[in-house]
Structure 1
């Protein structure tokens, strides 16, 4: 098994002095090197405790986020991702904006081959909102993949039993 390169630069992982910020802060995100850049594979994060605030009323909005990506050279470190997602806690933004901001920040951070984020927000006022955004590296097969997955991302919607 290969050693992880770049782990000495990770400041959150293993720290006993973790501090949580609830103001949006993309600088919390950290990366490490992908030891298998010669292979396409998915990494998926299920984040069932995402919280942000309605920009108009200040009421909390809750969601499960599904973040999937095909890494290239860099990968996002999971504890830094958790702290970054916590930083949305007191941030006011519409659901659709939050999902697109997360996509933008992760693309800027890692330059992945492919990335998608799907937010499944709990209902407020009798309506749930489930924004989906993705990215495929321009000029590659991943750009076509992103286009196809966007068109068909919700062909088989789940049976709603948990909201």
Structure 2
């Protein structure tokens, strides 16, 4: 029971009324302690309804965003991640920028052992763009995993 109350103190979005930000809002991201920091394991999120705006035309872009990571000490809380991804809805950014910004914000939040973010954007003008970005902690086996996965992507 004590762990639950400590967790509630760390997280403000979960269980609260949902407030949707109208532009890019990395401050809504929240993390909690990994209960299994000695284990290597994957956490995967799939956001099939991601939207952002073209920074030139202002037209909407639609994508499926896939996030996979191996946590270390902190983990991202899923409702805060949902609110964060929603905050791109009225934000102008190219596809590649969205994927890299999402990855960098999650690295800043939780410093995972390894993370990768893929954007599967729907076609515009007859062409699809699927940007992919990854990161492994420098000087560790995860850095080698990141290099291998990038080169074999």
Band the TM-score falls in, shorter-chain normalisation: over 0.9
Q: TM-score, normalised by structure 1?
A: 0.90
Q: Is the 8 A contact 1:7 1:32 kept in 2?
A: no
Q: What does the per-residue CA deviation read over 1:97-153, in whole Å, with 9 as the maximum and x for residues that have no partner?
A: 010000110000000000000000000100000000000000000000000001112
Unaligned runs of 5+ in 2: none
**What is the alpha-carbon distance in structure 2 between the residues aligned to residue 32 and residue 50 of structure 1?**
24
Q: Do residues 10 (structure 1) and 11 (structure 2) align? A: yes
**What is the alpha-carbon distance in structure 1 between the residues aligned to residue 3 and residue 102 of structure 2?**
29
Q: TM-score, normalised by structure 2?
A: 0.96
Q: Do residues 46 (structure 1) and 46 (structure 2) align? A: yes
**What is the alpha-carbon distance in structure 2 between the residues aligned to residue 72 and residue 14 of structure 1?**
25
Structure 1 residue 7: Cα displacement = 3.2
Secondary structure of residue in 2 paired with 1:64: strand
How many matched pairs? 151
Secondary structure of residue in 1 paired with 2:144: helix
**What is the alpha-carbon distance in structure 1 between the residues aligned to residue 8 and residue 113 of structure 2?**
22
Unaligned runs of 5+ in 1: 154-163
Q: How do 1:98-109 and structure 2 match up within 5 A?
A: 98-109=98-109
Bigger fraction of residues in helix: 2
